[in-house]
Structure 1
Amino acid sequence: MHDLLGHAWWMLALRGAAGFVFGALALVLPGLTLTFLVALYAAYAIISGISAISGAIRHRHDTSGWWAPLLLGLFSVVAGGIAIFLPAITALVLVIVMGVNAIATGVFDLITVFRLRGRVRRAWLLFATGVISLVFGVLVIAWPGAGALALVWMIGVYAIFSGALLLVLGLSARGWLRDGLTGHPSTG
């Protein structure tokens, strides 16, 4: 698994950058219409999903754990596709799709972390991303009737934090190849 992430560091960095940009746009423009929010979310989910799928397929022979990012990518692309092909869905359905996608993302990120445990530095960043995704998903599903503005802010903050963590992790993973793909467990 660490081989996959080391070789496909750009996948994590691209996921992080897409999330950060999406979150910043949602916070800077809080008066976004729900239709525009749907389009932004769809673009974010599809870009994130394609990068995960591409990294997994590209390095499927390098590790046996390539299926986790592949499933994450497929789930994200499907969630983005639902948002594109059903733009007239209600805010409630969109909220549930976003929440379920965040929970799935968190679960797959945590699976990856536990497979990497003790082998790479800064794996805690992916753990934090997974936990943030799970918490966000649960909160979104627990309170789907929240107002559109509150939803925009919640989504924006989630995307910025998880995007920043993934971007830092991706840039760190780039160095894993140079460092022999292993870190000292005591360094984090």
Structure 2
Amino acid sequence: MIDNASLASTPSLLRALGKRWWLFVLRGAAGITFGFLALLWPGVALITLALVWGAYALVDGCFALAAAMSGMRSGDTPRWWLVLTGLAGIAAGLLTFIWPVITVQVLLLLISAWAIVTGVMEVAGAVALRKEIEGEIFLILAGLVSIAFGVVILVWPAAGALSLVLLVAWLAIIGGAAYIGLALRLRKLAA
């Protein structure tokens, strides 16, 4: 745990982020707002979800880029990871506004393929480990659930989209709360 007395000896990145703690509050608030809006209107057209997500990715990318750029004047701590995060968010947001229908279709196909491949690998891993461990049935069950989820998204994309809306909403809310928690900790360090 770092206290105010040891802040002077902390890495310059931590000091720079501590001075800009409010950017993480904004990122967190954007995530929580997006998440609650998605939970309130899960039946909204997928295009709207794609556009709302695109706006969130764009805003999140701008805040990450602002956090990276605001501390670059010191020049002693690399911030390339924040720059890449920001640029990726901005690019994803802009592409979503250009091709919202394609964004939704590709995202659902990627999630479906990922779930099926992951499930098959989990089942194969459980079979390979059955002589090494007990309880491999849980890994098999997890794999079968993953495969079923992927197939459901392929067969009934609307159900998959609704599941996706709920998962993304909760991810945004939990992630946003984590960013606000980080911001409050950084603010305390900078005080």
In structure 2, the residue matched to 1:170 is 183
Q: What is the alpha-carbon distance in structure 2 between the residues aligned to residue 38 and residue 64 of structure 1?
A: 35
Stretches of structure 1 that go unaligned for 5 or more consecutive residues are 99-138, 179-188
Query: Is the 2:108–2:161 contact (alpha carbons within 8 Å) kept by the matching residues of 1?
Result: no
Q: In terms of mean alpha carbon deviation, does 144-153 or 53-62 score higher?
A: 144-153
Contact 1:20–1:159 (Cα < 8 Å) also in 2 = yes
Does residue 155 (structure 1) correspond to residue 181 (structure 2)? The answer is no
Q: More displaced, 77-86 or 1-10?
A: 1-10
Q: Distance in 1 between matches of 2:43 and 2:98?
A: 23
More deviation, 1-10/41-50 = 1-10
Shift, 1:97, TM fit: 8.1
Q: In the aligned structure 1, how far is the partner of 2:17 from the partner of 2:108? A: 30
Candidates 62, 74, 80, aligned match of 2:93: 80
Cα distance, 1:14 vs. partner?
Answer: 1.1
- TM-score by length of structure 1 reads 0.65
Determine the C-alpha separation between the residues in 2 that align with 1:90 and 1:18: 21
- State the one-letter code of the partner of 2:189: W
Q: Which residue of 1 aligns with 2:71?
A: 59
Larger Rg: 2
Q: Percent identity?
A: 35
Distance 1:18 1:95, change over 3 A: farther
Is the alpha carbon distance of 1:54 and 1:161 closer, same or farther for their aligned partners in structure 2, counting shifts above 3 Å? same
Over the aligned positions, Cα root-mean-square deviation in angstroms equals: 2.2
Counterparts in 2 of 1:11 and 1:92: CA distance versus 1, 3 Å: same
The equivalent residue for 2:17 is: 5
Per-residue deviation, 1:10: 1.6
Preserved contact between residue 43 and residue 80 of structure 1 (Cα < 8 Å): yes
Q: CA offset at residue 96 of structure 1?
A: 6.9
**SS of aligned partner of 1:166:** helix
Aligned counterparts of 2:25 and 2:164: Cα–Cα separation in 1: 25
Structure 2 length normalisation: TM-score?
Answer: 0.65
| Number of aligned residues | 136
Poorly superposed stretches of 4+, deviation over 6 Å:
none
Q: Identify unmatched segments of 5+ residues in structure 2.
A: 1-12, 112-145
Cα distance change, pair 97–46 in 1 and its aligned pair in 2 (3 A): farther
Cα distance change on mapping 1:97 and 1:55 into 2, 3 Å: farther
